[in-house]
Every structure is written in structure tokens, then in C-alpha cells.
Amino acid sequence: MKRQNVRTLALIMCTFTYLLVGAAVFDALESEEETAERRRLEAKSQELKSKYNLSAESYRELEWVVLKLKPHKAGVQWKFAGSFYFAITVITTIGYGHAAPSTDGGKVFCMVYALLGIPLTLVMFQSLGERINTFVKYLLHRIKKCLGMRRAEVSMANMVTIGFFSCISTLCIGAAAFSYYEHWSFFHAYYYCFITLTTIGFGDYVALQKDEALQNKPQYVAFSFVYILTGLTVIGAFLNLVVLRFMTMNAEDEKRDAEHRALLTRNGQASSVHAMDTGPAAPAAAVGSGGGGGGGGGGGFRNVYAEVLHFQSMCSCLWYKSREKLQYSIPMIIPRDLSTSDTCVEQSHSSPGHCPETPSNRCFCNARRSAISSVSTGLHSLTAFQGLMKRRSSV
């Protein structure tokens, strides 16, 4: 079974197991409290009916009025400030539920607005998070160099640590502010910030819903809008750093498998041509057919380096990607001046021995023949370059 299928099945099983564990824990924590709360509310309801002599119908009508009045405690919800707040909760998928369109036109526009706004917002936060990560990585690299550290490279662990503490700091700042403005405890304010910035949006705690805050506290309204958007950006940067790498693993594996199959196909074509052709032109023909199998005008030089990477052994004078990148893909290794090298190969096909030796094309170890070790007998397309066929130790 392919690695991608195994990973997908494992993720499905882990997700359902996680759901079962979560259901069991919430059942144990919340079910008894819910039952007790329901009994208290029913007792209070009977007490009010008896005290004010309310019939069941009158009591239901009173309930309906109280529920409908709840959103209006913040003042008028659908003026510009309230509408802007609602638009934020729509396109960020927070969806508190504190307000909802009541007209058919408003409902239709809400669906169309969300259909266009949600993808736009996701892409915006994704792009912004990637830019923030790049800037932080550059800044951390400069700080390490200024401090004179021997290894100035910024590792993944460094970035994850900074992202984690940035998220915690953002949540703590918001919790302190909302606990002051909303008169919540710090824990409840922290809970509200977490539910908001993760876009869960239960709606049990909603800011700007007391004392007509939307109309009477413009500074608090502005802070709330800026905090939500900034906090979502910070969370988005952290998710971009940690989660998206795993989200693209299947696509990377598919790409690597396709490159591997193409590489094996080129090797097979080069091997068949090498076996059929004889004479002094046979090596050049084998390289030419390998390059053609790889897609045409790239020349045989590209296939040589693809094979070198496949067997993880290469000439000491070539530029290549870092070991970390080689773990996730099999790219085509390109020398510092591929165009010059390919030109040299093409000239050697037409007029052997007339390739100019410049500093850029001297990379085939003309001065010091540091060649690839004979890892496999399947590197048939390397026969065109006799200097590369000598057995040397790999780098």
C-alpha cells in the first residue's frame, strides 16, 4: 500500500479515536452539571409562575421576549460598527451567533458574502503568516550573528518556540484587556480569547454586548476589531509554520514518486540505447536519449545529476541542496552555471575536444578528477563523461 494511503488511514483512525476520547471526557465533566442546572431552572420557573400567577402560555411569551431582547443589550446591532463586527465574524468563520440577519435579503447576501469572503480571508491570513515567519526568521538570524554565535542558522525548533510564545502572549494581552472592559475573570477572558482566535466561536462569551458598547465606547470597539484581526494573524502564522507542512506531505510524496518514476524511465531508455548502439558515438547517443526522455532541451547533463542525487553520491565540486530539503523531495540538481555546462556538452557532441575551459565549466573536475563513486552499475548515462566513471569516495 502506498505511503500516502497508509498516512490517510492512520489520520482517519486517530481523528475518530480523538473524537471518542473527547466525547467521553466531556460526558464525565459536563453531564451531571447540566442535569443539576436544568433542575434549578425548572424550579425557578415554577416559582416565578406561582409568584406572578402566570399561565404556561404567558410564561412562554415572556421567555420569547427576553430571548429576543438579549442581542439589543449592546445597542443597535446593525449600524455600521455592529455590522462591521458581524462581517468580521462571518469571513473569519468565528460565528458567535450574537446577531443574525432577519430579512430574506440579508440572509441571501450573507451567504454570497461568506462564499467570497471566507476563501479570501484564509488566503490573506496564510500569506501574511508566511511573510511574518520569513521576517522573524531573518530577524533571528541577524540577532544570532550579532551575538557572535557559532551557528547562526535558524532551526525549525527556534521558529516553533517563538511562534508558541507569541500565541501565548497574544492570548494573555487580550485576556487582560477584556477582563478589564467586560468585568470577566482573567480565566474567562482568556477562554473567550482562545475560542475567538481559534474561530470556534461558541457565543457563550461575546465582547461588546454590554451597556450599548457599540455606540458609547468607540475606543473599546476599535481595540476589539484590531485585536481579533491581529490575533488571527499571529495564530495563522503559527499554523502556517506547524500544520501546513503536514498538510502538504501527501502532495510532496506524490511529486517525489512521480520524479522517481520519471528517473527510472530515463535510466531504462538510456540503458537500452547504450546496449543497442556501438562505435565511438554510442556514449554521446546514450546521454542524448536520456536527456530527450527527461523532456527535451535540458541536455544530458541534467539527467546525470538526477541520477547522482538518486544514489545520494555526488562530485565534490557541485552545488546541491541541504540535507533537510533532500529529505522531502528529489529535485534536479543544477550546477552553478548549468547553461555553460550544457553548452559544453552540446559542443562536445559536435566537435569533441573543443570545449573551452572556463572557471564556470571547469566543474567536471578537469584539474582534479573528483568523481562519483560507483554506487550502482545502472548509471548508464554517465558513460558520456569518462572522467566521472573513475571510482572515488563520495562526499
Whether residue 220 contacts residue 199, with contact meaning beta carbons closer than 8 Å, is answered with: no
Cβ of 178: how many Cβ atoms within 10 Å?
Answer: 25
Tens of pLDDT, residues 332-369: 444 444 444 444 444 544 554 444 444 444 444 444 44
Residues 6+ apart with CB under 8 A from 336: 319, 360, 363
Which cell is 303 given?
539527467
How far is the C-alpha of 117 from the C-alpha of 93, rounded, in Å?
10
Asked if the model's pLDDT at residue 238 lies above 70, the reply is yes
Q: Alpha-carbon distance 12 to 3, whole Å?
A: 14
What grid cell was written down for 284? 554521446
Of residues 148 and 389, more confidently modeled: 148
Report the share of the chain in percent with pLDDT over 90: 47
Q: What is the dihedral of CA 140, 142, 145, 146, to 10 degrees?
A: -110
Residue type, position 371, single letter: A
Residue 34 is predicted with a pLDDT of: 95
DSSP letter at 373 equals -
Per-residue pLDDT tens for 190-226?
Answer: 999 999 999 999 999 999 988 888 888 999 999 999 9
What digits encode the pLDDT tens for the residues 148-170? 888 889 998 899 999 999 999 99
Sign of CA dihedral 159, 161, 166, 167: positive
Band the pLDDT of 276: cuts 50, 70, 90.
low
Q: Are 264 and 128 in contact (CB under 8 A)?
A: no
Given a cut of 70, whether residue 252 has pLDDT beyond it is yes
